[in-house]
Structure 1
């Protein structure tokens, strides 16, 4: 490969990487809408974004994720009232999450995924250009999970209760997806089902068992976490609603398996105690739950090695 060809190839890789960040930032922009409108019973698909001060619709050129807020200096073009910096922060955070797991899960050939043989051919060319759809599907499915949890964290931070329709929709979707796309299952519900055997691990009964075990085990983990938080000295206003906690852990269990819900519980408890030791815990709000899930997911393959067969 000549030097110009090599430079062109690297530029192409950088462009694809940027596209994944832009995808995440746009999802983050949508999460801002979901977190604000859904708890108030407003539509998340119709109606333009408006200035919180004057109520005037924000034009499309000013609504570009991250850049739009920077162009306007954090103020409305019409009335010059301040627009919260939370919007670009959420967009940048979501873009960063998509980018992080783009490197850890996708172009690494699945290096962060447990009980899965890492792809021999890796990188942008061999996983994205010559699409490995099983790997891309896992990446998008897990990003959907992380984005949903982020939206829930934003709602809880704003002291909204999670809408029941959001909980039912996400749990139903998480339970159905493994039935429709069995390759989304990485860890079987029980060791009696051999891994690596498509006919056994991905048969409809095994997929259904995976979803049911994930939902049940996750809900139990959420109940246990709620019980623990009630018996600590955490002020009542800092405690998260028990129903929301059970939903979050059940959702993670349905997507990743009941084993991951259990390890997510361990990470969440450890971070909770660390945050309370570091500060009074009040400024962290529910953010440590997202941090615990990100930490779990980034080290999934590493810590799974040390977990005895369940």
Structure 2
């Protein structure tokens, strides 16, 4: 197992987020990476390497240019316009029929953001670009013959759409890696299995009309959990992508046995698709007592289930890139990541 990691994520350290009507300290902190990395080193999972710098082109294959310019420039423009220096958080959201793009620095965040849980600070764009490079380096490792790689990405990515950030996510690391892989050779196919507690609405949006990337997600039902407006079982893809999107929304309180049953369904769909490689959007907010998942009702997975998840994924006998997404029960986060990776390699 090759681990790809960088300290560039430290540049993204917002002081707060606005959640459920309250301004609170943000859950998605640099401490998460420090805890995961320490657990990986204790367990001697594998060598830790720095990412290669890939430049903007692989990112542009997934995200709109105007959105990328927004991410790169908004913090400084926001400050000049009188916005609070602590973080860029939108005050007005362009919803439904309010769809006119707006370039004013105090208005643009409401056009390019779908919630108030993706605060931007001076180093956010650099950290997000570094996370994308981490994912791309992991994808390149698979192309050069490695069976497993783990991309310790922060910020996470699976909520980021083509031109929208939200849910702590700015650039969609899994989608960028998948796009890089399918462009590596004619006919190359990739599957993404999202096991984060929350639906990967950004990844679904990016590939919804594509047949070369299968998206399969096991997540809390949007009938009671974020992101609420996407992630239902009847969303099966559109156009050329019809049948290549597979959602498995689950009820609150799901424990190990029910989760593994859903995982088996997801893995069968992936086996039927027969991709060249598999990307795992690996969130660990499925763990019992995760504080973010607890907002609205969480799952009840035990630590013992994560090696089982890894073993069942490994049984597909595919090259696997694991990309870090959520997980906020920090006292258990590192051990849960190690357990999944050790299960993969057994």
Both structures adopt the same fold (TM-score exceeding 0.5):
no
* Higher CA-based Rg: 1
TM bracket (short chain): 0.3 to 0.5
| Structure with the larger helix share | 1
Larger relative contact order, structure 1 or 2 (CA cutoff 8 Å, min sep 6): 2
TM-score by length of 2: 0.31
TM-score by length of 1: 0.33
| Structure with the larger strand share | 2
